[in-house]
Structure 1
């Protein structure tokens, strides 16, 4: 079978190969690999340029919308400000404008100065600091070569990052665990530094060189150490994100991990050494000499070639890449076999459990069991009545019900916005003023689907999300209200963006000052006044007026790239004409054949975001969980399919909004379920979402089958086959949901409502050929699923 590697999205660029500390637990200099001795101290211009070109090439080939690059070492600050500037500028210049660069540097902090911070502020480089806790804990390993303490210098570096002018650069603290350190003293010392995130790392070890286990510490000292911290962290209300703990909680619920050391997500990281060598994860240096090597470099090889290296392929193979003992383990989907390097044993390679296996088992099962006990988080207040929930369960939902959901979503966006702002600023002051003087103008901007997407990205620290979005929202609301104000806005991709209004093409990057007056605004020399013609650099948002519904075709907001498929560029005039014609035809078809969906769409779907075309012959569409009111669609060839995609994706939009406020299932259920339309098993929420969306798909093809009732020809045959297939898929999924035992009382009523809505379509005659075709499709999908997921723990409706 052909291997299709996962694109690399994370890059560790070694800008310097030496260090100014002599940490005795360092995997680069103190463990098995010795390759650092023969490498240049600093990365040359040629290596930096080659790296930037290779990453840009990879981004273009895979249409990546964001990449994460860490400047690393050794100690990267030893490279000096000139070399670090060169690295950042080359990376930013090479990447396409529509790809966000999350650029970070990881340092021991000893050399961090105001000069460096000012440079990182200019270049938008976030800073992570290695610190093992209080002075006693930190000095156990992190000392200078002459034995001097590094603690005071590291604290000074952190205090620099805590200054208001540099706080936005502070990425977090990384702590390597030593079980001889007091876990609570370490935790409290780190929390006292107010980090945006903490990472606790197990010390690197293998079966050949196992981790230390002090006498009398018990068989699982690392689990005990981390559980002590987890208990305190939980008691304090989780005051700071801890990546490892959050990853356990996420993977126990079938979600992705936030770290390569847990979960089954495929590896998407590559390391570039100072000589341009392309290597696997740095942690492999602890296994044996030369373990990370691939034999490739940035001068002669593409990143796609690196992804096909056997070591990379094994680290992307999920469950199949683990040892038999791991595959049989009940917590494998959370543990993921632990960090790949920690599985190494001479003679057996990496086909072993982690050397920390017992610790990981105890840690994960204890966290799992404590999360399943009464300490369950309270559900948010319900916003819908029982009658409204059952109305939505039918697959439809009237205008008033969907407007109730939309109002609740607006309130949620407002709360998220306040959390992002987290303090006074000019933009926040403008928003507050507008809330009192022109709340309608403010709400018109905050109901924009991608306002919430941006806020969530900021709170999660994702690439491309920054506080400039606050100024963009404030400016758009001020323009709508005619509130005279001046604001500094970011220039993104060569444009200044006003959400819900449009963008001004300015070229370049950086910032631009926008001046709002009672009748318009001016930015970068462009004056926009009401509906009057403006400079051609002004690209307004286009809205399509249809009978009873006005929909925005969003092709300007950079935050629109929130869907699983990449957003299209600004529509040309011919493309806009084609979209308008197809939307009119699709809307008319929805009114004729899916009238029950029309009131909800009118009330809740404000935005269609054009997506780039998918693979030939495949229709592409998506809904983003954090973008209520928007769907993304690549315009299909047939307007009827456009109607289907609108109805299908708006189902996801509605149910996502319901789940924000109504507890329909037990989140502690970490089983994976068979979804008849997918080759991979799904967590319970994923199955629920897919089932609800396919109610609309079944109804669409049922209506089409009735339209072609008794008619021959390809269209009628296709409609009957599609109805037979989708009603069978959806009915099986409903049975699985009802039989899962994990739906709440409200969730069970919701599933029964879906079953009642589906039942009439089960009785529509489609003919023996269509029934046979549906059975064949179901059998094929089940065979694909079994081939892909032979060891999956799965629940079905049978």
Structure 2
């Protein structure tokens, strides 16, 4: 978010307003809004130029690292390959120098041929195809105007895409409960799509969907889900993954604020296309690309209404136990004449049944989520192991999402084979914290690293394979194992029975381990993607430096086990890696975590083992909270306010306040215990942090932005902190702590801050 009006990150360009099919469920032509009739058929060159400039302007204004542009229709292929090439080229020229452009096109596939595919490959355009399943299902709606089937042409298009995996984005299927869900799923799965989207047919309370039973759509999707689950969750299905992994990756689920805007062929800005099903003119904004910038569009009342998150839902939805996942459903599906969009989704019964079924099947039961102990700031081995298990699902989903984006197909095939024959080896490598960092942040720039991941799994499995690998800075990194220097041009690793070699291979630098009392973690100074902690990663340690880390860890772990036994089991279950950081200025302790690097704590080696113990306990709180937020919606993400945090000099967004408060439960607890051994500064530290942490808990509780589950979580935090306020502390220490808190808040509120 950037203030109350968040930036757009998804832009739909209507490059052609007509279609060569006559699908009777199409929201553009067959629903309430008929504005297509007055629009030009093709987006003009001038409009394309202005659209590119407006998007680029928006990217620069908000410092956006990545945006998605979808070429859409109607049927965009009617614009022809030459025009589409010009449009893609202009977008690339405007946006590639300033951000990562994810350029896509969605089509019915009827006209897709090699001329188009060559253009899309040249400009890096990913192509998705609408296909409603097998012939019987597809022919229910997707026909030509004369009644002919489009199935053969669509299948031919998908087969062409399978031969050009670099441009194959996936398949979109609109659910019709008359079709056979098993036949639909198997037809789609056999086409090896990188992703499948199942869409509920657009409907409102005034024009409800055909419904033979009260939860017909949920029942249909549940049958597909069970097949998908039984067959290894392949291909990735965005709806199911959004329920399982969260936060939602689809506009139809979740509380995430909408960040999408449409630019029509005539240059008019519109809201999401799905609103065309509500009433005539529903998507209109009155703004135009020639006359208005995108920040102006972001202030449109309709756009703002779709960004209210939990606060924008009706009372029925806000009280629902699955609101954190459902989010009220697709905005358009809530419409009813007279009450507008202040209603549950017309599919609310289906969404509730589907979400609860999926959660039950993967042990995410709505009313029995094991968050109580975690909310109190602790969490035993079982609780943290549950978080770690959810991270595996997220990592697998992220890996699936980068499939076909330049990643070597041989690596995918090897990983699939190893996952079948040696699942523990694959699980071990995927558990490496920086695999997710690579998949989430660096896969586009370094797609070949998937080969390194597969090679590492092959080594652990004792398998034999020749694997294409990526060489970065003259080194081949194998996650969990170490880094191999390469002097020659070798780019394939030969793995044989747990050993490996490469042309020009030089010295091998293994990952060292820190061990204490049977607990072993990686001392990670080899991974090229570890530099993600907001502080420079240290270079490869010398043996003496590694020895000092081992000595400090031994003493720190002994202190944790003896003095802080409530934290030790969770650390054993979830802490896998310590990443050394470059030391800061003298006297300053440096430590950090990264949201995508579950299991890793980064730190510069502190002066004493007691400080290392504090850093590990403190930072692992952030690790846990990051995993919890991956799994659960605890707060309204559309809330863009900033809050005072007593441990920071800068104002923090709501998530930052939540993270910091949770971490400072452990900081407070550390000094609560240690003050008896180290009274100076222990008493002052305890007195200060208990008061400030308790105040931060109340700030969260009074924010009005916590979901029902978030309110439960904050109540658990309060349950831990509140009793500490009555523990006796020397009066002088209490006074000193109060002075420090007042000075910090006074400095924070100075004019100009």
TM-score category (smaller protein)? 0.5 to 0.7
Structure 2 counterparts to residues 485-496 of structure 1, below 5 A: 488=468
Give the structure 1 partner of residue 40 of structure 2. Answer: 39
State which of 182, 207, 217 in structure 2 corresponds to 1:211. Answer: 207
Give the structure 1 partner of residue 729 of structure 2. Answer: 765
Q: 1:659 to 1:300 in 2, by over 3 A?
A: closer
Give the structure 2 partner of residue 606 of structure 1. Answer: 577
Residues 422-431 or 18-27, more deviating: 422-431
Give the structure 1 partner of residue 351 of structure 2. Answer: 364
Mapped to 2, the partners of 1:484 and 1:267 lie a distance apart of 47
Give the structure 2 partner of residue 699 of structure 1. Answer: 669
Give the structure 2 partner of residue 663 of structure 1. Answer: none
1:722 correspondence with 2:689:
yes
Mapped to 1, the partners of 2:618 and 2:28 lie a distance apart of 51
**Does structure 1 conserve the Cα–Cα contact (< 8 Å) formed by 2:133 and 2:188?**
no
Q: CA deviation at 1:225?
A: 3.2
Q: CA deviation at 1:313?
A: 1.1
1:630 correspondence with 2:591:
no
Q: 1:277 to 1:608 in 2, by over 3 A?
A: farther
Mapped to 2, the partners of 1:51 and 1:641 lie a distance apart of 54
Residues 54-63 or 471-480, more deviating: 471-480
1:352 correspondence with 2:329:
no
**Does structure 2 conserve the Cα–Cα contact (< 8 Å) formed by 1:405 and 1:658?**
no
Deviations 1:466-501 (A, max 9, x none): 9633223357899999x9998655799999987687
Mapped to 2, the partners of 1:241 and 1:473 lie a distance apart of 20
Give the structure 2 partner of residue 268 of structure 1. Answer: 259
Structure 2 counterparts to residues 166-205 of structure 1, below 5 A: 166=164, 169-177=167-175, 183-185=178-180, 188-194=183-189, 196=193, 197-205=195-203
TM-score, with structure 2 as normaliser? 0.64
Give the structure 2 partner of residue 293 of structure 1. Answer: 285
1:530 correspondence with 2:510:
no
State which of 262, 278, 281 in structure 1 corresponds to 2:269. Answer: 278
Mapped to 1, the partners of 2:632 and 2:464 lie a distance apart of 51
SS in 1 for 2:491: strand
Give the structure 1 partner of residue 221 of structure 2. Answer: 230
Mapped to 1, the partners of 2:385 and 2:690 lie a distance apart of 30
Q: CA deviation at 1:697?
A: 1.9
SS in 2 for 1:68: strand
SS in 1 for 2:129: strand
Q: 1:300 to 1:726 in 2, by over 3 A?
A: same
Give the structure 1 partner of residue 130 of structure 2. Answer: 130
SS in 2 for 1:183: coil
Q: CA deviation at 1:446?
A: 6.2
Deviations 1:87-136 (A, max 9, x none): 44554555568965443321111112244345545555433222334445
Give the structure 1 partner of residue 81 of structure 2. Answer: 81
SS in 1 for 2:106: strand
Mapped to 2, the partners of 1:315 and 1:605 lie a distance apart of 40
Deviations 1:248-283 (A, max 9, x none): x45xx9x53343233332111122333444332122
Mapped to 1, the partners of 2:297 and 2:605 lie a distance apart of 35
1:650 correspondence with 2:650:
no
Mapped to 2, the partners of 1:231 and 1:629 lie a distance apart of 33
Stretches of structure 1 that go unaligned for 5 or more consecutive residues are 380-389, 506-511, 532-539, 562-566, 574-578, 614-618, 661-666, 734-741, 743-750, 778-798
SS in 2 for 1:27: coil
1:473 correspondence with 2:447:
no
Q: 1:333 to 1:89 in 2, by over 3 A?
A: same
Mapped to 1, the partners of 2:213 and 2:623 lie a distance apart of 42
Mapped to 1, the partners of 2:391 and 2:332 lie a distance apart of 46
Q: 1:433 to 1:159 in 2, by over 3 A?
A: closer
1:449 correspondence with 2:433:
yes
Q: CA deviation at 1:229?
A: 1.0
**Does structure 2 conserve the Cα–Cα contact (< 8 Å) formed by 1:651 and 1:696?**
yes
Deviations 1:26-74 (A, max 9, x none): 3323442415633360352x54455455445544555545433322112
Structure 2 counterparts to residues 569-608 of structure 1, below 5 A: 604-608=575-579
Q: CA deviation at 1:315?
A: 0.6
**Does structure 1 conserve the Cα–Cα contact (< 8 Å) formed by 2:25 and 2:201?**
yes
**Does structure 2 conserve the Cα–Cα contact (< 8 Å) formed by 1:553 and 1:610?**
no
**Does structure 2 conserve the Cα–Cα contact (< 8 Å) formed by 1:431 and 1:474?**
yes
Q: CA deviation at 1:14?
A: 2.4
Q: CA deviation at 1:142?
A: 2.7
Q: 1:121 to 1:176 in 2, by over 3 A?
A: same
**Does structure 2 conserve the Cα–Cα contact (< 8 Å) formed by 1:33 and 1:291?**
no
Mapped to 1, the partners of 2:64 and 2:510 lie a distance apart of 24
1:305 correspondence with 2:269:
no
Give the structure 2 partner of residue 509 of structure 1. Answer: none
Q: 1:96 to 1:493 in 2, by over 3 A?
A: farther
Q: 1:184 to 1:232 in 2, by over 3 A?
A: farther
Q: CA deviation at 1:628?
A: 4.0
Q: CA deviation at 1:189?
A: 3.3
**Does structure 2 conserve the Cα–Cα contact (< 8 Å) formed by 1:405 and 1:657?**
no
TM-score, with structure 1 as normaliser? 0.61
Q: 1:100 to 1:468 in 2, by over 3 A?
A: farther
SS in 2 for 1:702: helix
SS in 2 for 1:192: helix
Stretches of structure 2 that go unaligned for 5 or more consecutive residues are 365-372, 540-544, 585-589, 637-643, 647-651, 701-708, 710-714, 742-753
Give the structure 1 partner of residue 306 of structure 2. Answer: 315
